[in-house]
Amino acid sequence: MTPASPTGAASRADDPPLVEVQDLVKRFPVRGGMLFGARVAEVHAVDGVSFSIRRRETLGLVGESGCGKSTLSRLLLRLIEPTAGRVLFEGRDVMEFDGVALRSFRCEAQIVFQDPFGSLNPRMTIGDIIAESMLVNRTAARRERVERVARLLEQVGLHPDHARRYPHEFSGGQRQRIGIARALAIGPKLVVCDEPVSALDVSVQAQIVNLLQDLQADLALTYLFVSHDLGVVRHVCDRVAVMYLGKIVEIGDNETIFTRPGHPYTEALLAAIPEPSTRGRRGPALVEGDVPSPIDPPSGCRFHTRCRFAEAVCREVEPALLDVGDGHHVACHLHTPLSGMQRKE
């Protein structure tokens, strides 16, 4: 896989973004007790996240399991309601949509899921699954729907006759193609890809990634590409955002993130990418231990419990996401004048 800007078609930084996320917060209540489930604690799944997605770019969203990637992607599509903050889609507040506006938003932002088995209703034919959104949004009459399903199936590399079959007749890779066809059925502008290849075999992963890239070029799509696989992210994404415990700790160009990471966490993630080597073991892992519980996240910088550069200030003051040049944003005291720390390497 080569580190390159895959489409080259992404719009420039100064164009108005397709999606703008402002201080988005989502807390899930943890309930206990016998009868009515008193609220005993809160999971800070997404905690004050701001970023934007440019038109026709692929923004990668990476992080460990449980860091809030999936929650964030569902907030973006308003599949769940945020506790606070705003999502602007083409400048309009997604949270204020209702009725017709919400419907038309649903037509413009779609999702491809991780699990190729759970994401297709086993009791519906492929044709019905793909045509569902066209049916409920009344964007096409019956005959048109049938034709469009056939065309979509061809577009994702399947046969039009497959429309009459049921999901259990297909392999994981084929099911993911069906999921992609469903997402494209009503002509969205934004497609959230929630770990679209992590449940697939490596050989199939490459096919699906290539399919997604071809479709992006043909249909001028914008992707939010959620993944924990940095190899894939490096291959497909124009920009990358790194998440840790509900916060974005670093965001920047693909090239910058992978060659000059600014946050110790990003550095640790990159060091964990398995590389084929004949010269024995790599150096020691840069992070140890588990992610702290998002029910009671650490004070200050959330990464300080596992960071090898952590100092007193990191335990007390939460670092802001600051521009360190060329649209590269990092949330770390190593880069803020406040600490005056220098990097010792």
Binding residues for another protein, rule: CB under 8 A, are 35-36, 74, 77, 79, 102-103, 106-107, 109-111, 113-115, 118-124, 129, 132-133, 136-137, 162, 165-166, 168-171, 173-174, 179, 182, 185-186
Strands 38-53 and 19-32 turn out to be antiparallel
Q: 203 or 277, CB closer to another protein?
A: 203
Q: 121 or 293, CB closer to another protein?
A: 121
Q: 164 or 282, CB closer to another protein?
A: 164
Helices (H) and strands (E) counted in the chain, each on its own, are 10, 12
Q: 161 or 316, CB closer to another protein?
A: 161
Distance CA 183, CA 167 (A): 16
Rounded to the nearest whole angstrom, what is the least distance from the CB of residue 144 to another protein in the complex?
A: 17
Rounded to the nearest whole angstrom, what is the least distance from the CB of residue 145 to another protein in the complex?
A: 13
Rounded to the nearest whole angstrom, what is the least distance from the CB of residue 183 to another protein in the complex?
A: 8
Burial 227-249, CB ≥16 within 10 A → b, else e: bbebebbbbbbbbbbbbbbbbbb
For residues 146 and 127, the answer to whether their CB atoms sit within 8 Å is yes
For residues 242 and 43, the answer to whether their CB atoms sit within 8 Å is no
Q: 8 or 36, CB closer to another protein?
A: 36
- Sort 77 into a burial class: Cβ within 10 Å, 0-12 / 13-18 / 19+: buried
What are the helix (H) ranges across 31-84? 69-76
Rounded to the nearest whole angstrom, what is the least distance from the CB of residue 13 to another protein in the complex?
A: 29
Q: 130 or 268, CB closer to another protein?
A: 130
Rounded to the nearest whole angstrom, what is the least distance from the CB of residue 192 to another protein in the complex?
A: 9
Ramachandran class of 204: left when φ > 0, alpha when ψ lies in -120 to 50, beta otherwise: alpha
- Sort 223 into a burial class: Cβ within 10 Å, 0-12 / 13-18 / 19+: buried
Rounded to the nearest whole angstrom, what is the least distance from the CB of residue 230 to another protein in the complex?
A: 24
* DSSP-derived 3-state class of residue 297: coil
Q: 219 or 317, CB closer to another protein?
A: 219
Rounded to the nearest whole angstrom, what is the least distance from the CB of residue 336 to another protein in the complex?
A: 39
